[in-house]
Amino acid sequence: MDLHHWLGRAVDTHAAWADGHGPRPGHPALAVDDEALSTAFAELAGRLGTSYPFFHPRYAGQMLKPPHPVAVTGYLAAMLVNPNNHALDGGPATSALEEEVVAALATMVGFPGDHLGHLTGGGTVANLEALFVARETHPGKGIAYSAESHYTHARMCHLLGVEGHAVPTDDRGRMDVAALERLLDGGRIGTVVVTTGTTGLGAVDPVHRVLDLTEPAGVRVHVDAAYGGFFALLADEVPHGTPLVDPAPWRALRRCDSVVVDPHKHGMQPYGCGAVLFRDPSVQRFYRHDSPYTYFTSSRPHLGEISLECSRAGASAAALWLTLRLFPLTRDGLGEVVAAGRRTALRWAERIAASPHLDLFQPPELDIVTYHPRVNPPSLKRITAASEHVLRAGMRGGQEDPVYVSTARIGADAFAARRGDAVVDAEETAVLRSVLMKPEAEPYLDRLHGRVEELASAACRDGELP
């Protein structure tokens, strides 16, 4: 796919549409001098040049990658019109596109046709909306989330004036169901947030087992699948041998009350694209409000009437819509993109486990691999020093062969739960963390592993450890 060609086509399409409205108006106040633009643009290009190469598989750090060129094309085509999906008055065409992509996401998680949902600026606002609705359906009750869940849940409980409860996790970073059961017995919890793919470790809470407790108790369940949502596409895989993910938590999504998924993570979209889905459409009553400025053009609910945000880029809906035409929400469509990262994580974990210079922190459940330089004995202080050495030395790596990873802080108890022989000489330690969300990492794995191994061996050799 030639991005120049497709961006040109987006601009031409917009021009042809605009020309259909007669000669284009202009104003001297808007004029720019090409030379001045050229100077300013060169400065911008220089500033952007200091970015980390998120597009390259040598960047194996945080949850970051550029949008697919198809998404960029769809975004640009719509952005030139600049519709606002707050109301049908602002974005009739892109509001319809949004309804279609939201329906596709709802089908992916197994929700019925009469679900409610919309795109959001991201996972944070999407989760806020889900917790807001939870507060309204279960007034006066608390919200439980795992200790490994995204920090947003505790913050949003504070914001909403709801009591938040952190549930301990097991030795794989998943919600401890027995601990949840004890908490539910107290009768103070109205909603449980389960995370299918924690941001730190990629741990998947046992949604199906949580539902077995919540359903009889009338407790609401919200799924934070901001990171992991698209792995649902791998759950129905049965053909030969073991599926790439344990299907049980993913198949249970349909029994939950709300789900958040971020197309700007694994959905290959530019930032500004999250989504919240509700199984029961009647929760729209909690959003009811009137606007003296908008909502003129239709008696059909406007997207702004069922969301907390006002202005939102209609271009986000267009970008996702075009992307899903080329990469539908099936195992062979977008599923294959997600599967590549999952396979790479599994293969890398095997290589790390067999390496004399690295130890696996825990087996990956999705596409996040956590590991650390092999330090003997495994003292928390020395593991922190060795991990940070790999992080820094990797980025320095000269112009030839840098590699970018990230670190995750792990509490002493959580570390000791995985390593019985840990020397607990600090309250926490830092391990290395790589999100393998780019399919391009699959053919690059040997080089990535080789580089990280070299850095880990140097970290322990260079006498930098305390």
Q: Which of 75, 132, 227, 404 binds ligand PLP (CB under 6 A)?
A: 227
- For ligand PLP, the closer of residues 110 and 200 by Cβ is 200
> H or E segment at 212?
helix 207-217
Q: Rounded CA gap, 145 and 258, in Å? A: 14
Length of the chain: 466
Cβ(388)–Cβ(407) below 8 Å: yes
Shortest gap between Cβ of 153 and ligand PLP (angstroms)?
A: 8
List of E strands, 244-291: 258-261, 274-278
We find the least distance from the C-beta atom of residue 122 to ligand PLP, in angstroms, to be 3
Identify which of residues 85 and 355 has a Cβ nearer to ligand PLP in the complex.
85
Among 84, 146, 195, 429, which residue sits at the site for ligand PLP (rule: CB under 6 A)?
A: 195
User: Shortest approach of ligand PLP to residue 286 CB, angstroms?
Assistant: 21
Between 226 and 455, name the residue whose CB sits nearer to ligand PLP: 226
How does DSSP assign 301-353, residue by residue?
A: PPGGGG-S----BHHHHHHHHHHHHHS-SSTTTHHHHHHHHHHHHHHHHHHHH
> Which member of 67, 229, 263, 274 binds ligand PLP (CB under 6 A)?
274
- Residue 226, interface with ligand PLP (CB under 6 A)? yes
Cβ burial of 399 (10 Å; 0-12, 13-18, 19+) is exposed
Which residue in the set 98, 129, 176, 224 belongs to the binding site for ligand PLP (CB under 6 A)? 224
User: The tokens of 149 are what?
Assistant: 């869940």
- The footprint of ligand PLP on residues 99-158 (CB under 6 A) is 122-124, 127, 150, 152
Instruction: Supply the DSSP symbol for 42.
Output: H
**Using rule CB under 6 A, residue 262 touches ligand PLP:** yes
Please state the closest distance from residue 320 (CB atom) to ligand PLP, in A. Answer: 14
Is residue 199 at the binding interface for ligand PLP, with CB under 6 A as the rule? yes
Confirm if 143 and 131 have CB atoms less than 8 A apart: yes
Q: Which is nearer to ligand PLP, 84 or 269 (CB)?
A: 269
Beta strands in 147-300, from DSSP E residues, in sequence order = 164-167, 189-195, 220-225, 258-261, 274-278
Q: What is the largest CA-CA distance in the chain?
A: 76
- Pairing mode, if any, of strands 274-278 and 258-261? antiparallel
Q: Which is nearer to ligand PLP, 307 or 384 (CB)?
A: 307
**Comparison of 162 and 390: residue with beta carbon closer to ligand PLP:** 162
The interface region with ligand PLP, picked from 171-179, 185-193, 219-227, 355-363 by CB under 6 A, is: 219-227
- Return residues touching ligand PLP (CB under 6 A): 122-124, 127, 150, 152, 195, 199, 224, 226-227, 262, 274
